[in-house]
Structures are given as structure tokens and as C-alpha cells.
Amino acid sequence: SAVISQKPSRDICQRGTSLTIQCQVDSQVTMMFWYRQQPGQSLTLIATANQGSEATYESGFVIDKFPISRPNLTFSTLTVSNMSPEDSSIYLCSVEEAYFGTGGSDEQFFGPGTRLTVL
């Protein structure tokens, strides 16, 4: 199973600044995802980040606000740009591994999350 680490684990930032969140996986994975969980709301997918191609953003999320890098199969970054208090949230990265064979199915793993507070 994949082990995922995220940095920073939490941060308090000023309005208008940017924060880059790092996600490191201990194995090579194809699919990486970035999620946001705002207080009292369900988990929301921001974008899918595949190595070697542009990230695919979900409706309501744009690259200028949430630029993503995926330089290799074990690492990705998400930047939250020009932050406002509405960006206060937990940001999670996730990977999906596919298991093939009898009854093979995909399995998802999540990082510990980055708790962001914007003042």
C-alpha cells in the first residue's frame, strides 16, 4: 500500500499570499488527486494530476488559482494562490493504485492533509 506524506501539515497565512503544498508518495503511482474539505462540507475534488500532462481541473477550480505540478510519479505540488479567508480548508492529496488479477480493484490512499487557515 502507498504511504503518502504532505507538507506542511498546517499553516496560517495572510490574505493575498500563496502557499505551496507538497505531496510525496513512497511508490510510483499514475493517478494523483488533490481534494479540498472546507469546514462543514464534504470532500471536493480540485484536480487530477497525471505525470507528463496538464492537470485536469474540476468545475469551479482554475489553474491560475490552484496551479499544480507533477514532475514525476512520486511527487506533486498544489499551490493556493492569492489566498482569501474562503480558502481556509483542509487540502488532501490522494493516489490510486490499481491491482490486477482475480477480483482486482483500485484502491485509494490519502495523505494526512494540510490544514490551511487564511487570516
Partner 1 sequence: SQELEQSPQSLIVQEGKNLTINCTSSKTLYGLYWYKQKYGEGLIFLMMLQKGGEEKSHEKITAKLDEKKQQSSLHITASQPSHAGIYLCGADIGSGTYKYIFGTGTRLKVLA
Which residues would be at the binding site for partner 1 (CB under 8 A)?
31, 33, 41-45, 48, 58, 92, 94, 105-113
Q: Which is nearer to partner 1, 9 or 84 (CB)?
A: 9
Q: Which is nearer to partner 1, 81 or 115 (CB)?
A: 115
Q: Which is nearer to partner 1, 45 or 73 (CB)?
A: 45
Give 3-state DSSP helix, strand, coil % of the chain, rounded to 5: 5, 50, 45
Residue 14 Cβ vs partner 1, minimum distance, rounded to whole Å? 26
- Interior CA angle at 46 toward 56 and 75, to 5°? 75
Residue 16 Cβ vs partner 1, minimum distance, rounded to whole Å? 29
Residue 103 Cβ vs partner 1, minimum distance, rounded to whole Å? 10
What's the CA gap between 62 and 75, in Å, rounded? 21
- Which candidate, 55, 92, 49, places its Cα nearest to that of 74? 49
